[in-house]
């Protein structure tokens, strides 16, 4: 059974985080003080270049393997404008949320008092139409 994209991405991200933690430990040479110093240097504004070389290498490797894994699982990976999105085939029935009819005819006057439909002579808004003889 094929995995959903969500499950696959969760596995990829979990693996990347674990590999990055191991790379941080390797950068500290197994010593607690340098490891703590490396962890404390990471904050929300940390850039890729600010990370230790070991962590940069782990992230680069994981990104390459993530794209390969997505392709092996059958997902398409391309730049946003390169591939036209697929559309569901139409069955010939009109959508249910679209108003039916030609849409022609006179429109209602806007509620904000703007210009509405043209009226005949002698008629004011709210008055009755003149009687016919």
How far apart are alpha carbons 36 and 24 in whole angstroms? Answer: 10
| 56-88 pLDDT tens trace | 999 999 999 998 988 888 887 777 777 676 676
Long-range contacts of 12-20 (CB under 8 A, 24+ apart): 12/62, 12/66, 12/69, 12/70, 15/62, 16/58, 16/59, 16/62, 16/63, 16/66, 19/58, 19/61, 19/62, 20/55, 20/58, 20/59, 20/62
Determine the pLDDT at residue 75: 84
pTM: 0.53
| 19-36 pLDDT tens trace | 999 999 988 888 889 899
Percent of the chain with pLDDT over 70: 63
Domain map of the chain by residue range? 5-72
Determine the pLDDT at residue 14: 92
């Amino acid at each position: 059974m094929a995995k959903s994209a969500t499950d696959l991405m969760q596995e990829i991200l979990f693996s990347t985080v674990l590999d990055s933690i191991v790379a941080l430990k390797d950068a500290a040479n197994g010593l607690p003080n340098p490891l703590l110093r490396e962890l404390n240097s990471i904050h929300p504004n940390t850039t890729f270049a600010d990370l230790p070389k070991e962590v940069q290498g782990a992230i680069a490797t994981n990104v390459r393997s993530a794209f390969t894994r997505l392709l092996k699982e059958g997902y398409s990976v391309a730049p946003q404008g390169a591939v036209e999105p697929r559309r569901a085939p139409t069955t010939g029935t009109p959508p249910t949320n679209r108003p039916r009819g030609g849409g022609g005819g006179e429109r209602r006057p806007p509620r904000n008092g703007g210009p509405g439909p043209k009226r005949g002579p002698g008629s004011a808004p709210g008055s009755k139409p003149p009687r016919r003889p």
